[in-house]
Every structure is written in C-alpha cells, then in structure tokens.
Copies of this chain bind each other. A is one copy, B any other.
C-alpha cells in the first residue's frame, strides 16, 4: 500500500466512524505532514482523492472540512446482457427507419433494429434500437442477425457519452406478446441515448419483465 493511500484511508476511517463529523475541520496539511512524516505533496494527493470521492471539501486559507453527505448520486451497474447464462439474441426486424423516428430522436437517417434478448431460454428483454447511419456508416452494411447491435456498436464506435432513463411501464400488447407475458405486466424500461462528438450514435429502449430484472447502484466505498 502506498503512502498517500494510507493517509487517505486513515482520514476516511475517522470520517466514516463518525469521529470527524460533517463540518469538522480536519488537521491542516502541514499538521498531517508532521503526523505522517511525509512531503506536503503526498498529503495533498490524498486529500485530492478524498475531494474526488466527495468526502471532504477544501477551502484556501480556511482548511479542509468533512463534507455533508449527499446520497443523491450513486454508481449504477448496468450488466452486459450478453454475459448472462444461456444468452441468445433474436433479431425480429431490421429496416430503414421512418422519417417520424428521425424527428423523435432528432438525428440524421436511421437504421431501426428490433429483437429480443434471451437468457436461460426465456425472453429477458425486448429491444428497439435506432442507429444514426450518418454517424456510423458501417452500420448500414451490418445485418445484426447473430450479433446484437449493442455489442456490435461497442466494437465499432469509439468513446462516447451516454444518458440513461429508467422507468416503470405496463407492457402493451406487442411487448407482452413478444415477451410471452400478459398485457399490463409491470416492466422496467431502460432507455439510452449515446452520442459521439456531439452527434447521436444510437438510441435504444429495452423493456424487461419486472420480475426478471433489477438494477443496483452503489454509493460510498465504491471501486
């Protein structure tokens, strides 16, 4: 374990135990330097990491203070469907999208791909995906018959930004039929918009039966 990590852990432990409560002014950097017998840069590095973790705030001239907890952000884990036991992708449609769909996501010409993710022999998620072919021209020549568009895109599009929206919906007739459930079943709907350099790459909506899928998010001693 490195020295800056040890310093970081020591301070974090005192915060998490409640010994140093929110608002408490932790020792000055020069005091921590004395306590740990190291250079100020090393203490500073540890404190910077604590700031990044949201545990403390630093104010010039005033010192560093234990932050007030904010449970309003957590790291959401979105599992890769393709890694599930008994995974299979079934494509049900692949066509050029209608003009109104371009309006819907405000993009250029689109490819629409629809299909079902199966896990353990049962349908797990219904997917409707739009791919902007002006951003990803190679997508026009793919058929997404055996490979789900999600994993195909991961291999063909470099780094991007994404926004997710999660909500609960009742399955409509088409969704219920595709997933083999009664109409109106509570489902988790995950929508994702992906951009690259400001241009839309893809939009996807996945619908999961509520009793077969959940999401988890961690906050705190993450990583």
Contact = CB atoms under 8 A, between A and B. Distances in A.
Contact of A79 (B72, B154, B169, B188): B72
B55 A159 contact: yes
B80 A72 contact: yes
A197 B159 contact: no
Contacts of A192: 71
B74 A73 contact: no
Interface stretch (A32-40, A86-94, A104-112, A208-216): A208-216
A16 B163 contact: no
- What is the interface residue range for chain A against chain B? 35 or more
A221 B42 CA distance: 28
Contacts of A186: 168-170, 184-187, 210
24 contacts: A16-B197, A18-B196, A22-B158, A22-B159, A69-B154, A69-B159, A71-B162, A71-B192, A73-B75, A73-B77, A75-B75, A75-B76, A159-B220, A161-B220, A162-B219, A163-B217, A164-B216, A164-B217, A164-B218, A166-B214, A167-B210, A168-B189, A168-B208, A170-B186
